[in-house]
Amino acid sequence: MSREIILDTETTGLDAQAGDRIIEIAAIELLNGSVTTNNFHCYINPERDIPDSAFRVHGISFDMVADKPVFSGIVDQFMDFVGDDPIVAHNAEFDLKFINCELQKIGRPPISGERVVDTLALARKKHPGASNSLDALCTRYGVDRSRRVKHGALIDAEILAEVYIELRGGRQTSLSLQVRKEIRKAEFTGGMTERPRPLPSRVTETSEASHSTLIETLGANPFWRRYRDPVNVGEAVAE
């Protein structure tokens, strides 16, 4: 079973090396390319102020997270949820840098970049020269982003999950699989489809009696007797 983790964070600013910290983190589980109800989400006390410039982006003030756990208080739960599975993020370098800075502060090993899938890089490769922001991808793939009034880790992760599925051919792939199933079914049935109810027989009792009389004149074990006798129909078809 293929498991992937869709990840997003909100932070106090843009520079982890300069002391900006994570204030919200969300991770959503994908199994075999489908979103499950299993997710990880929490707000984090960054142990520092949240500038107005950041607040205008995500709407999270320090008062809102003052009573939340610090990163070291949620790290075990977060790492257990993520496990060793691939991590998917938009502009993944940003999120990974912040998470690894937090891990470094508490003496934990970093998450390897080799296990991270960057949807921004995927989109740029698939749509070169076009805008590939999350909003632009939502527009391109018809993903509803109306609930995204401000940035939020959980909302953005949910939206990114839909975008990621589309980037991998999501709806088109599902349609293609369905078409292939129908083709295989048609090949197996000789192109015929089953009726929900069988049509009523048009054979009258007189016709059936005449046909039985004819069969009796064909010898001791005529081939047509197998089709007339329901017990032998399976044997006749098998041959």
**In a structure prediction context, what are the per-residue pLDDT tens digits for the chain, which is 239 residues long?**
799 999 999 999 999 999 999 999 999 999 999 999 999 999 999 999 999 999 999 999 999 999 999 999 999 999 999 999 999 999 999 999 999 999 999 999 999 999 999 999 999 999 999 999 999 999 999 999 988 878 899 999 999 999 999 999 975 444 444 444 554 555 555 555 555 555 555 566 666 676 677 667 766 666 556 655 554 544 444 44
**Catalytic residue list contains 151:** yes
Which helix (H) or strand (E) element contains residue 118? Answer: strand 116-118
**Looking up tokens 């960054």, which residue turns up?**
46
What is the SS3 assignment for 116?
strand
Q: What values do phi and psi take at 33, rounded to 5? A: 80, 10
Domains of the chain in sequence order: 3-169 (3.30.420.10), 205-238 (no CATH)
Q: Which residue out of 90, 127, 151, 211 is catalytically annotated?
A: 151
For residue 169, what is the DSSP state? T
The pLDDT assigned to 176 comes to 45
Strand order in the sheet with 22-31: 34-43, 22-31, 3-11, 87-89, 116-118
CA pair distance 26, 109, nearest whole angstrom? 20
89 bridge partner residues:
118
Q: Quote the CA–CA distance of 19 and 101 in Å, as a whole number.
A: 9
